[in-house]
């Protein structure tokens, strides 16, 4: 189990992997990947039972990235965890790649479900959670939804079904970065109060800073929050977290960087890695 300091360093390396994919492809969904990458790192390096050498290991914990456009975060962490060689990152955006613009379980071992059309991941997770319970598995299911994904009505059928079936082996993070594709979630389609809605649907909720690894690890250590109930974590985050000139700016939802901008972003992440490594030594 990796503790907060190590997770922070892993997340910084994963951020460098995200930039490596952007350098290869010339464009990608930066903002949402970087808001959730600390959570994805905590899941893979601290919490989940999984084996990069055996991605289909029986009784593994499952992770489904419901907001599939944030997949740069998952690819970056899978590479960091050893699911595939780092060189594969350089195929992002190229024909025949194993790491396409949205995750594909038929292309990349370690991906549990195809996502990208928003609003489907949670339903898939409820099915997996029920299947695991039926088969007597101790496996748990984790997912991340975007705050701009919540208006998809299918989510609410899944929230209701998960609670009705008492899937306490299911944990959903809502990555509340306050932005979606074209503006603030408040302006485009306000779903607040999210925690109250989820509680009224029968979920047990916690609210954290989703870019603070101490808080992310602590909340993950506490699931299920209540026996017989699914767990939801309202994770307040910053879109494009870690690249100061892009933080909280909707223009970096999908980023087509100019070479000098990418140089600047890489320099900042490398400086973060150096500072964290020094602090760990």
Binding to ligand TPP in span 228-247, by CB under 6 A: 239
Decide: is 147 part of the binding site for Mg ion (CB under 5 A): yes
The half-sphere exposure of 123 on its side-chain side, counting CA atoms within 13 A, is 13
Given candidates 17, 25, 177, 231, which one binds Mg ion under the rule CB under 5 A? 177
Residue among 48 and 208 whose Cβ is closer to Mg ion? 208
CA 167 to chain centre: 20
Q: Answer whether 173's CB lies under 8 Å from 36's CB.
A: yes
Which one of Mg ion, ligand TPP, none interacts with residue 215, CB within 5 to 8 A by kind?
none
Q: Which stretch binds ligand TPP (CB under 6 A): 13-21, 90-98, 110-118, 154-162?
A: 110-118
What is the spatial distance between Cα 201 and Cα 159, in angstroms, rounded to a whole number?
Answer: 7
Residue among 70 and 236 whose Cβ is closer to ligand TPP? 70
Decide: is 204 part of the binding site for ligand TPP (CB under 6 A): no
Residue among 104 and 147 whose Cβ is closer to Mg ion? 147
Q: Which stretch binds ligand TPP (CB under 6 A): 77-85, 111-119, 135-143, 212-220?
A: 111-119
Which one of Mg ion, ligand TPP, none interacts with residue 20, CB within 5 to 8 A by kind?
none
Decide: is 70 part of the binding site for ligand TPP (CB under 6 A): yes
Decide: is 148 part of the binding site for ligand TPP (CB under 6 A): yes
Residues that bind ligand TPP (CB under 6 A): 31-32, 35, 67, 69-70, 116-119, 146-149, 175, 177, 179-181, 239, 253
């Amino acid at each position: 189990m990796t503790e907060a300091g190590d997770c922070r360093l892993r997340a910084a390396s994963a951020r460098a992997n995200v930039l490596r994919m952007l350098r290869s492809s010339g464009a990608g969904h930066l903002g949402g990947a970087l808001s959730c990458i600390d959570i994805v790192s905590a899941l893979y390096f601290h919490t989940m039972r999984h084996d990069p050498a055996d991605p289909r290991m029986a009784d593994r914990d499952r992770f489904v990235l419901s907001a599939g456009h944030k997949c740069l975060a998952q690819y970056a962490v899978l590479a960091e965890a050893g699911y595939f060689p780092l060189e594969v990152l350089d195929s992002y955006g190229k024909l025949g790649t194993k790491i396409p613009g949205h995750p594909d379980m038929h292309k990349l071992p370690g991906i549990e479900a195809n996502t990208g059309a928003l609003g489907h991941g949670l339903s898939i997770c409820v099915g997996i959670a029920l299947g695991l319970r039926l088969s007597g598995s101790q496996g748990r299911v984790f997912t991340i939804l975007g705050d701009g994904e919540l208006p998809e009505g299918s989510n609410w059928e899944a929230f209701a079904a998960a609670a009705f079936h008492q899937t306490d082996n299911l944990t959903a993070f809502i990555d509340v970065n306050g932005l979606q594709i074209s503006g603030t979630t408040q302006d485009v389609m306000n779903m607040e109060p999210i925690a109250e809605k989820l509680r009224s649907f029968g979920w047990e909720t916690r609210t954290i800073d989703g870019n603070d690894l101490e808080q992310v690890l602590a909340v993950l250590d506490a699931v299920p929050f209540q026996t017989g109930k699914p767990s939801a974590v309202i994770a307040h985050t910053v879109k494009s977290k870690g690249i100061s000139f892009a933080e909280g700016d909707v223009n970096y939802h999908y980023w087509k960087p100019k070479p000098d901008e990418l140089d600047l972003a890489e320099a900042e992440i490398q400086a973060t890695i150096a500072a964290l490594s020094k602090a760990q030594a």
